Each structure stands twice: as C-alpha cells, then as structure tokens.
Amino acid sequence: MKEQVLVIGLGQFGMSLARTLNEKGFQVIAVDIDQKLVNEAANFVTDAICLNAIDEISLSKLSPKDRDLVICSIGSKEPSILTVALLKQMGCENIIARASETIHARILKAIGAKKVINPEHEYGKRFANRILFKNIFSDNTSDDLDLLEVPVQPFMTDKTLVELKLPDRYKVIVAGIIKDNKLSRPIPQEKLQEGDRLLLTGNCEDIERMIEENK
C-alpha cells in the first residue's frame, strides 16, 4: 500500500511539494483554506480538501494520526504553529513543518514537529553551493548527501586517494574521476592530476570545509 501524506498549505512551496510527492508515488491529501488552490491541486493529488486547518473539528476529520506523514507547509507563523500544535494534540508523531525564520523553527520543534524546514534558506544554501562548485548533479537528495563535481584541488595534485584519506578526514567520498571528458572509476593508488575533475559524494558543507582548510 502506498504511503499517505497529508500536505496542509498549498502556497507555492506546498503545491510543488504535493505535486512532486504524487509523482514519486505517494498518496497525497492536499489541504488549503483557498478553494482555488484546492481545485488546482485536485488535478494531480489523490484527494484535495478545502478547510481551515486551525479549526480543530475540521482538522480532526482528516484523521491526521492515521497518515504516514503530515506536512504543515503553511507560511504564516501563527496558523502554522496552531496547526502543528493541534496535530500533535491529535496524536501525530511524524510531522514536518515549514518555518520562515529561526525563532519560528524553534517554536515548531518545541511543540512537536519532528523536522522543521526553511525552503528559502535551503534554496539559498543550495544555490550558493551551485555557484561555488559550478556543477551540482543532484541537489534534491537527502539532508546530508549531495553529488558534486569539483576540479582537483592544488592540495590533491600528485597524490593518491589513499594518501588523501578524504572519507576519514572530511567524510567525503570520490565516486568518479573525469579525465578528458571521460568518466571513470577512481583507482585508489592512482595519482590525481591537475585538470581532472572529481565526482564527490558528501555534505556540501564538508566539501566546502575541505577546500577552505587546504587553501
């Protein structure tokens, strides 16, 4: 049986999230107070419902406790806080909530959100990394894993992967090496050359730290 996800709040972020989850094979129940947005979501989600999420009786009718995941993507602080508080009160354990800034995030975590996200912050960080590393092959993986292409750094030149010990020192793994526009598997004992490019898996922040520490 497909996992059921309840998405509350169909602004730009919530709508995109509902659409993507649907495409990934989840059963999505989309909720918003705006009927026009509900009608739009109804074209691609499993079910779309118009109601006020801070109305306890209306929210309870969605049986949020029985869903595999509940996402509160409401952008406004007060409604999102009230919604998460009600969801927690109804017995929901797996709640993901959207926050607009740090204090908002702290409140959401304090009242029971399992995970809090800031779409604007995350996009900004990803975009900055895209500029920094020139090419991000995948920027929608897990929270702590990215696949990046970076040029061989000066401190790596004429050294082998065994000598560099990147996984131990920085939690960074070389998944492939690009030489003359050809991708090949990394050979641990082969020396890296200037002009080569590396496919790295790891956290963007760890990769950035690795580069900064070896300038």
pLDDT tens column, 122-179: 655 555 555 455 444 444 444 456 678 888 999 999 999 999 999 999 988 898 898 8
Give the model's confidence band at 113: pLDDT under 50 very low, under 70 low, under 90 confident, else very high.
very high
Tell me, letter by letter, the H, E, C secondary structure of the chain: CCCEEEEECCCHHHHHHHHHHHHCCCEEEEEECCHHHHHHHCCCCCEEEECCCCCHHHHHCCCHHHCCEEEECCCCHHHHHHHHHHHHHCCCCCEEEECCCHHHHHHHHHCCCCEEECHHHHHHHHHHHHHHHCEEEECCCCCCCEEEEEECCHHHCCCCHHHHCHHHHHCCEEEEEEECCEEECCCCCCCCCCCCEEEEEECHHHHHHHHHHCC
d(CA 100, CA 22): 25
Q: What is the pLDDT of residue 139?
A: 46
Q: Which domains, ranges and CATH numbers included, belong to the chain?
A: 4-117 (3.40.50.720), 122-213 (3.30.70.1450)
pLDDT digits (tens, 9 = 90+) for 31-81: 999 999 999 999 999 999 999 999 999 999 999 999 999 999 998 899 999
Stretch among 12-21, 83-92, 118-127, 157-166 having the lowest mean pLDDT:
118-127
Q: What is the pLDDT of residue 129?
A: 54
